[in-house]
Each structure stands twice: as structure tokens, then as C-alpha cells.
Structure 1
């Protein structure tokens, strides 16, 4: 059965909460709150680094015992909410972002159903990238079947000039995809363009996907990527005639990859700085975070109907901008 999985912070006491909403004709009435596993609760300042094949992977700091100090290493927890089982993975040598930065992502190999955590360590700041161009990205992968980390060599790692937007990440059809920006020096000046970096979890190779010129040279802050059914879409945020508009571009499954504009999500009278598209139902209807537009609602997560251009609250009472929404299918992986 198809669900939407929403994670948010409670607006009263701020713990992280999870709810599954059946994505069928009963939407959004049929829902269930998930009890988080004890090991999930041990993570401090956790974030989701991937959702794939019915598994969630969270990463954060952790402490031994209730009042113990935070460990110097990070920890990932692979969690199957359906069967309430988890696997913990220690993540060593996570950069502190002073010079180097670590990008973590999770996915499941489409051929073997083996869970993998990808760790990319790269130079964090553009000034350091220019002076340390001889130092390549350092790529490691953890495979659940072996319970071990290993280095990846010859995987065509991203250039040092590429910077990941690791909050803009989608796992789809055995590929991890990130929005990224590439900066190059031309005639003594700095030029930049946006692109998508993909990692194939079967071949363990990186690939680059070029965006249309209008997206490649747009501010990266105005772009995001989401999963729409079984396709990747790029959302282009714009303001037209004082209305907030999201243009939805779908990536076509051809070689080389191309993009087609599907439709526009038109939100009249919306606060331009405070409305975001968080994901999509299987019907194609966008899920939006729009607290400031309708402050009288209980919660700010809502569904938008493109044809009638109406917005309906989902009645989830969460803290502003704490929402993450994923398409979710039940699985027996980790059993």
C-alpha cells in the first residue's frame, strides 16, 4: 500500500514525530502515528539522509547512557517502521565543516536489495577549493550485507569545484540524486551553473545531469528536487504578478537526460518567503508547507489541487518549517 510519511517537530514540546497517511481514496483521513524505535531516539540533532524501499535512514550524534556526553563520532540508524526493526551504523571521520564537509546519503540497491550508506568528504569552501585542487573527493560506502565501510576508487568522483545541496536529495530507481552547483574560473572571473549529481548504487559510479539553461543559471535557492510518482522533478520557484509560482519540470527517461515543464503551481496571495513544496501524492497533487498563509489552521502541512487551485489542510500540528515528506511503501527488509 502507498503512503505518505511525514516527519515534523511537535509545536508544543518539539519532539520529532512521524505519521503515515494512506495515499488512496481515503486521503487524508486514514493515518497512523509511528512510535519511534529506542535507537532512533538516542540520536541527537538527527536528520533523515534517505528513504528507500520502505527504510528510513537517520544520522546524528549519540551519547552512551541517558546523561552521558556526546560521542566524537556520528551514528546512522536504518529503521523499518513497518516491522519496528533497526540497524545501527557507526560513521567515523565526519568532517566538522571548517575546511572539509561530509555528505551522507542512503539508498537500497535495486538489484540486490542491499542497503548502502554513501559518505562523500570534500573541500568545504571555494577559497580552499582553488588552493587545494589536487585533493579529490574522498568517497566511502557502507554495505549492510558486509557490515563494513570501504573506499571507492575509480568511481568518477565529483570535481572539487562541485558543491552539493545535500538537503535537496532524492532516491529514485536505485539512484541517489542531489542538486549541486559547479563553479569554474573563466577569464579571471567566477562562473557557476546548477546541475544534478547522481550516484548509481549498483555500478557505484557518479554521473552528471545537465539542467536546461533557465534552471542551470537560476539561483540555487529557488530550486528544489522531488519525487513525483517514479520520476524526478525539479521545482523552480518564481514570483509572477505578485503570485508565488512553482514551475514543475520532469526529467525524461532518455539519453541524454532532458526536462519538460509539466505545469505550474500557482499560489496567489502567498507569503513568498514562507511557502514550500515538500513532496507529491501519487495522484500528482503537491504537498506544501504554508503556515504563514493560513495561521488559523492546526498545523501548516496542506495539499494543493492544481485544477481547482484550492488548498486543504492536513491537520498536522507541527512547528513551522520542520516538515519532511516522503513517498513510502511497506517492506519486510531488515527482517
Structure 2
């Protein structure tokens, strides 16, 4: 009978809102053990009722953030969130509801804004006090729900162009240690633009060939630990001083933003990769920089409905966040402004990951 009651309690617990679930850990030791178990955390992660949020940071040098529910109610429902003081300024990316920060001085922090919990990670690098400019990527493996850091050289040494072996460092939080992998990657020099996206089991980076200036995308498979090169259409790959390129995610699809820089910030072409097929990039529409309501200064993120979070400048030279509907070109103000254009906007889903750390 006691087992039957416990099973009923377990099913009830799994249906609780996340805030209540975290609070119930202090009611009974048995409940805490259950809630902290990797099995319940994994099952809760697959819960389709989990809400999606938008995390907004207005200033690169401040730790205060605002979180919106990504539904029809925002921007009316917003919550202030204070980032832990140990968190570096540079946001690497977000995956499965976790954010990763890195400061290029061998320190990374993995942070869960939903339960206000973080884990510090020491990143291997120069131990003589030098500045380490290697690129660090972050993702959560969808199969194991294990947070992963990947450190790859930002530039391939020119003197070793005949040697195709790269040393890549990989960290899995469940193991708590770094391991070095020798990868046979292309011989050209890569300089990362620090633009990364996580979709399913892949971490994507936008990079360019230093020798030719061509744009391309590389991906890291968090399960097989293999890199793959994704060649872009000619209209995207060619080096062009008049355009900038960024990558982001739109409804679980990889998107390339191609920005015309003949002016300060021109029109932005949106290219989507269909079903993970690197040969299927299609220009789905363009974001017009000059619209009836003003001028768009930057494109930051896509929300759940596929609308675009953009930065615009008002008459007082303040930078403000708006939601832009690409077909109608209509914008809605999010009620957030800043003196400097150093916004970060990241889409995330509530999660219990890190609860057992």
C-alpha cells in the first residue's frame, strides 16, 4: 500500500509547477530525494507544458536581467532576475534552459535562471597569465541532458598549415573533467565570430576561412563528438565587406542573417536551413531596416511565434527593444530601453537541470 501511495505522490509531483516543485524539496527527505533524482529531472524536461521565456539583459556590464513569458501576454508579464556575481560578462549561449557565460580568463559559469542555480567550471588554458582567446561553445546533450563545453582554437596556427590535427577540449558536467580530442579538421585558418546556436544534438558556429574570407558553418555533434563542415550557398559564402553574417534559431531550425552594411545597418536577409539539410538554405524573407515606425539598428532573436526581437533608436538616442512582425512590418514596444546598444536576448524553457548539483 505504501508503494502505491508513493507512486501516486510521484505522479502528482511531476505535474506541479516548477516553483512549487522546488519548494516541496524541503517538505520531506523522501520528496527531496525523488525531485533531485536524474530520472524525475529528465521526465520533467520532456514535459510539453513547460513555458518558454525570453531573457533580456540591457547592459554588457550589468548583471540584472528581465524575463518575459514568451506568449501572448508579454511584455506585460516580466520578472527581474539577478545573475550570480560570479557570472562573467560574455554570454556564450543557451541550451535546454541553461545559459553559459565565459570571460576568456579560464572561467565559465553554467546558470539555470528558472531555479536560480549556477555551477562554476574552470576552463583549461594558458597558465602564465596570458589572455586566452580560444572559442568556447556550450550545449546540453538531448540524449543524456548533460551540459557540455567545447573549447576549440580560434585561429589555426599559420606555421602548421600542413598539419591538419587540431586539439579540441571537451567538458561534460556529469564527469567533471576535461578531455582532449585530436581532430582532423581542414587545413585553412578559422577565426570564429563567436556566433553559436544549439539545435537538437548539434552546436553550430559561424566561422570564416581566414585565407579566403569565405563564410561557412561548422557543427559539433554532442553525442558522437564529431565536427562537420556546412558549406553555404554562393550568395552567403562569398567574402563581402558590405555584408555581415550571423546565425540564430527560428522554431528549431538554423537561420543565417545576412545584413547589408552599405549603410549603418541595412536590410537583413533571413535564410533558413530546412530539416537539418545543409543544402536546403532558402531565403524566406527580408527584414527591412527602415520601416514606418523608425529604423531598425539590430536583430537579436526570434520569439516562439517567429516574430523578431529588434533594437530601434528613439529621438532621445536611446536604444529600445521592439517585436517586429516581418510580413506587416508592424512593431510592438517591449518597454525596455538602454543608453548603450549592448542588449542580449535569449529564448529558453524552464528546466530543473542543475537541481542535483
After TM superposition, give the deviation of residue 240 of structure 1 in Å: 9.1
Q: 1:180-329, aligned counterparts within 5 Å?
A: 180-184=207-211, 191-219=212-240, 222-238=244-260, 244-253=266-275, 255-268=277-290, 275-291=297-313, 294-296=314-316, 299-329=319-349
For 1:66, the equivalent position in structure 2 comes to: none
RMSD after superposition? 3.0
Distance 1:316 1:243, change over 3 A: closer
Length-normalised TM-score, structure 1: 0.81
After TM superposition, give the deviation of residue 8 of structure 1 in Å: 2.2
Length-normalised TM-score, structure 2: 0.76
For 1:69, the equivalent position in structure 2 comes to: none
More helix by share: 2
For 1:70, the equivalent position in structure 2 comes to: none
Q: Distance in 2 between matches of 1:163 and 1:286?
A: 28
Q: 1:15-54, aligned counterparts within 5 Å?
A: 15-37=62-84, 41-44=85-88, 46-54=89-97
From the CA coordinates, give the structure whose radius of gyration is larger: 2
Distance 1:254 1:92, change over 3 A: closer
Q: 1:152-163, aligned counterparts within 5 Å?
A: 152-153=181-182, 155-157=183-185, 159-163=187-191
Distance 1:159 1:302, change over 3 A: farther
Deviations 1:166-210 (A, max 9, x none): 1x11111121111111144xxxxxx33111011111111101111
Query: What are structure 2's unaligned runs of at least 5 residues?
Result: 1-50
Q: Distance in 2 between matches of 1:216 and 1:96?
A: 38
After TM superposition, give the deviation of residue 255 of structure 1 in Å: 4.2
- Secondary structure of 1:252's counterpart equals coil
Distance 1:308 1:256, change over 3 A: closer
For 1:110, the equivalent position in structure 2 comes to: 142
Distance 1:24 1:298, change over 3 A: farther
After TM superposition, give the deviation of residue 310 of structure 1 in Å: 2.2
Query: What are structure 1's unaligned runs of at least 5 residues?
Result: 62-72, 185-190
For 1:175, the equivalent position in structure 2 comes to: 202
After TM superposition, give the deviation of residue 160 of structure 1 in Å: 4.3
Deviations 1:136-170 (A, max 9, x none): 432001110110000113x443544222211x111
